[in-house]
Chain A
């Protein structure tokens, strides 16, 4: 009997968790990813409002070179590339580094929240091509994608780009 009650409570708990996730998602709507080669002003405004706290830092030796919000990243210039069979849209990583004043370095370490992947990717500067982009995801954050980056190594919800 206790076992049966436990199962019913467990099933109800699972339904409550799924319902809670749905409620949370509905009260905290994520911004839409920009369409086309460049995000429209309206999309940019929505993105900025919804994820105003989201920032990507570019650092060298612990020193912050630049900090970009989503709108600023979009403003650097959107690029659409096809990598590993998917279309990714966002600023080129080289352009983002350039906007932070980084013209050259040996290694770039990309750090993310780590909640959905390893949260860390180290790539040689020489391996970063023009098609390596910071794709603006539907969740309103950026992830790294490029021909030299295997899909399983991608870092989502990027928070920091360290250059060495």
Chain B
């Protein structure tokens, strides 16, 4: 007999969601360096999202984390693009992770799924950037300029974030935190 998952979110999960939102803001702020490399600031927040989705294994939890993180980023690092798009970028990334996680058996502690999920999630932000540009009236040649490099950089930094997330999740599983009690030790788990 299959059990229907509880629609209510436990306080522990809410705490993790809020914590991940704050970590996304901190990660985004810490890595906001003037190095002119598009997408570099996404390494930490993508890692945070992967960790969060790995810990709170509920449908929609990554979207919630993205929404919380996005709202914090929109408030503390406001952009003239507006609140909606500032939040939408992180919600989109969370949505991608929410789609990916069940398809990889909720095993974001594994390197390959986490790397692919992180890369896809970070690329979701580029898609929102494009939509924002279109809405702002930026012309196609302007939108297209440098898009390949930007996309590849976002894929690369997202993959790196996924890798970091998977490694942290493995450490958390080994530390036997209660939320990850149901997941086997990655050391003993064949990839």
Contact = CB atoms under 8 A, between A and B. Distances in A.
B141 A140 contact: yes
A117 interface: yes
Nearest to B128: A115
A115 to B, nearest CB: 5
Instruction: Name the residue among B34, B80, B116, B146 with the largest chain A CB count within 10 angstroms.
Output: B80
Interface stretch (B43-51, B60-68, B104-112, B166-174): B104-112
Interface in A113-148: 113-120, 138-141
Contact of B136 (A3, A11, A115): A115
Interface in A12-59: 13-14, 17-18, 21-22, 24-25, 27-31, 50-54
A139 B85 CA distance: 22
A111 B103 contact: no
Nearest to A3: B104
Given A17-B151, A25-B148, A114-B82, A157 B138 contact: yes
Contacts of A119: 79-81
A140 B116 contact: no
B77 A118 contact: yes
Given A10-B117, A53-B139, A140-B142, A21 B151 contact: yes
Nearest to A15: B155
B116 A151 contact: no
Which 7 pairs between the two chains have the least Cβ-Cβ distance?
A: A114-B81, A139-B145, A119-B80, A30-B145, A28-B144, A151-B34, A120-B80
Interface of A: 2-3, 6-7, 10-11, 13-14, 17-18, 21-22, 24-25, 27-31, 50-54, 111-120, 138-141, 150-152, 157, 159
Given A21-B148, A25-B148, A51-B141, 10 more contacts: A3-B107, A6-B100, A7-B116, A11-B116, A18-B151, A24-B143, A28-B144, A51-B139, A111-B80, A114-B85
